[in-house]
Amino acid sequence: MLTSPVSPWRRRAAGGLLGLLCLGLTAAHCDGQQVDDVLGYVEIGGRTAVYAPLCPGDEIRKVRVYTAPDPERGGDFTPLWEAEGPTTDLVRQGLFVLGDDSQFSTVIREPPAAFPRRLSVAADTVSGVIRDEAREHPAELPRYPLGTPLEELTFDTEDGPMSAAQLRETLESQPTACPTNR
């Protein structure tokens, strides 16, 4: 369990401020109902790739990757890689290879030589929604050669193997996940 050095008064004030901010935003996570983001992991061309399903019409704007603390011992999220400005349609649609700077026009934080299995991955979208998940992916991921179409990939998820279409359906089935669902 992570403990906060922030006083209870400041936490309440921050909570109130967050509530006010959410009144002015349309992001799915602000309406009081939790959206269960499920990201998919796969290996493409020998490198770990992540798929963040998106709402219809939305696109990836930026990705951020952190080490996720051990759930038993706690700790901090440590930044590993950050990039923005997708350069391919696949990345804009939510599929990106960890640490592949060529997929983005701007690299904010250079990637490490290798990524750990316990990660927190956040994909910021053009609509202002953040799709994120922190978990440890298995050592063996489904493997595909470079160039395999998105719709032919089966991803490892917390909910078991899922296709890109199933991941999108899971997202869109949540009443508050996409603006068209509200």
Q: Is residue 4 part of a domain?
A: no
Structure tokens at 5: 């050095």
Whole-angstrom distance, CA of residue 25 vs CA of residue 31: 9
Q: What pLDDT sits at residue 179?
A: 75
Q: Is residue 10 part of a domain?
A: no
Q: Is residue 6 part of a domain?
A: no
Q: What pLDDT sits at residue 157?
A: 95
The helix (run of H) or strand (run of E) holding residue 165 is helix 164-172
Q: Is residue 135 part of a domain?
A: yes
pTM (two decimals): 0.79
Q: Is residue 16 part of a domain?
A: no
Q: Is residue 175 part of a domain?
A: yes
Q: Is residue 24 part of a domain?
A: no
Q: What is the pLDDT of residues 78-99, one digit of tens each?
A: 999 999 999 999 999 999 999 9
Q: Is residue 75 part of a domain?
A: yes
Range of the domain at 112: 36-181
Which residues does residue 33 pair with via DSSP β-bridges, in sequence order?
A: none
Overall domain count for the chain: 1
